[in-house]
Amino acid sequence: MRILILGADGYLGWPTCLYFSQRGHEVIGVDSYFRRKATAELDCESLFPSPDLIQRAKVWEELTNKKINVHIGDITDYEFLISIFKEFNPDAVIHYAEQPSAPYSMINRDRAAFTLQNNLIGTLNTIYAVKETNPDCHIIKLGTMGEYGTPNIDIEEGWLEIEHNGRKDKFLFPRQAGSLYHTTKVQDTDMLWFYIRTWGIRATDLMQGPVYGLSTDETDLDERLRPFFNYDEIFGTVLNRFITQAVAGYPLSIYGNGNQTRGFLNLKDTMQCVYLSAMQPSEKGQLRIFNQLTEPFSVRQLADKVKMAGDKLGYNVVVEHIENPRVEQEDHYYNVKYTGLKQLGLQPNYLTDNVLENFFAVVDKYKDRINKDAFFKGIKWK
C-alpha cells in the first residue's frame, strides 16, 4: 500500500513510518518539526538526541535498503498538503500531525489558539485533500480516550444507542473533554463524521489512551532510529515520566490522590493498531471508531509498579502526591469497552515486570541527559 504519514517525525509518527516500511509498504512522511521547535523553546527536549527526519530516513535506508520519502512542511498550508496527495496518491493517510499535549494547550491563550488552528485546520485540510484527489483513500485519525472524559456510565466504542420517549437512534458517544487539546480532538471527530455523512468518504478514528515505551523492533535496530522520548510536564506521558523520574532520583509526581484511571498501551501496540486498521479499512461512508488501549490503571497503581520495579533494581524510588494542577475527577467510575482492535488481530504487549525492567535499562543509559528542570513547569488549568 501507499501510506502517507502526517506527523512523521513524532513519538508515534516515526516508529509508524518504520513499521509500515519494514512490512514492504511505500511510505511518505510529512512533518513541520513542531515538536522539535516547541521542546527546544520550552527547554524540555527528548531524552535521546534524534537526528532530523531526513537524516533518520537515510539511516533507515542504509540499514535496510528501504526508502522512506520525507517532506518537511505544514499541513495547515493546503497548497503544500494537496501537492503531496497529488504526487503520491496514497491508499491511506495516517493523521498524527496534531499538537498532542494537554498541558501545552493550557499554557496561555496563544498556545490554545495555536492548538485549535493547528489541529482543526490540519484535519480539515486532510479531509479536503482526500475528497479532491481520491475519496477512496482511508483516513486513519488519532483521536483520544480523553474525548469521553470520565462519565459515570460504561464507555462504549465510539457510538451509543439511545432510547428516548419510545424512539431509538445511534449517536456518537457523549464527549466531555478535560483540556483544550482534548476538545480539539472531539471537534476533529465531529468534523470527520460531518464530511463522512456528506461526502461518503471513509475513516477510522482511534481513541487512544496514554502511550508508554521507547522502542519497537524497528527502532531497536540502531540508536539513531529511536523515537522522541519526552518525560517533561508538557509532552511526557505519565508512565514515561515516572520511569525517568525514578532513574533520576526525583520523586514520582502523582497529581492529587492518584485514583484517576486511564487506559494505557505500549508504543508497540500503537503500531499494531494503526497497521491493523490500515490493512482492514472501514467501509465507504463509515466512521469506524476503536478504543485503543490494552490495560486500565490508576495513576497510583502505575506509581506502585514503577516503585516496585525500581526498588528491585536498586533505585530507591520515592513517591509524592502533589496538588493536582489539572481540573479532572480523581475518584470516578471507569469501565471501557475495547474489543474492536482485538477482533482485528491485536496481540497486546502488557506492562509486565520484564517490560518495566527493560524500560529502566534503556532510560538509565541516558541518565546523564535527564534535565530535572523539565519535570516540573508549573502549568495549571486555572
Contact with ligand USQ (CB under 6 A) among 4, 42, 93, 102: 102
Contact with ligand USQ (CB under 6 A) among 238, 267, 289, 341: 238
**For residue 320, what is its C-alpha cell?**
509524592
Catalytic residue among 185, 189, 237, 275: 185
Q: How far is the CB of 290 from ligand USQ (least distance, A)?
A: 13
CA distance 107 to 291: 28
Output 57 or 180, the one with its CB closest to ligand USQ.
Answer: 180
Kindly determine how many residues on this chain lie close enough to bind ligand USQ according to the rule CB under 6 A: 21
- Under a CB-based contact definition with an 8 Å cutoff, are residues 140 and 92 in contact? yes
The pairing of strands 92-95 and 26-31 is unpaired
The pairing of strands 26-31 and 68-72 is parallel
Interaction of residue 262 with ligand USQ, rule CB under 6 A: yes
Interface segment toward ligand USQ; rule CB under 6 A; list 13-21, 25-33, 79-87, 96-104: 96-104
State the DSSP string of 8-55. TTSTTHHHHHHHHHHTT-EEEEEE--HHHHHHHHTT---SS----HHH
CA distance 71 to 77: 13
**For residue 278, what is its C-alpha cell?**
490500515
Catalytic residue among 181, 195, 315, 366: 181
Question: Does the annotation count 144 as an active-site position?
Answer: yes
Interaction of residue 254 with ligand USQ, rule CB under 6 A: yes
Q: How far is the CB of 330 from ligand USQ (least distance, A)?
A: 8
CA distance 230 to 252: 15
CB within 8 Å of 258: residues ≥ 6 apart:
298, 299, 300, 303, 321, 330
Phi, psi of 367, rounded to the nearest 5 degrees: -50, -40
Interaction of residue 310 with ligand USQ, rule CB under 6 A: no
Interaction of residue 294 with ligand USQ, rule CB under 6 A: no
Contact with ligand USQ (CB under 6 A) among 7, 10, 158, 210: 210
Output 193 or 255, the one with its CB closest to ligand USQ.
Answer: 255
Binding mask 126-145 toward ligand USQ (x if CB under 6 A, else -) reads: ------------------xx
Contact with ligand USQ (CB under 6 A) among 326, 358, 371, 377: 326
Residues that bind ligand USQ (CB under 6 A): 100-102, 144-146, 182, 208-210, 237-238, 241, 253-255, 260, 262, 299, 326, 328
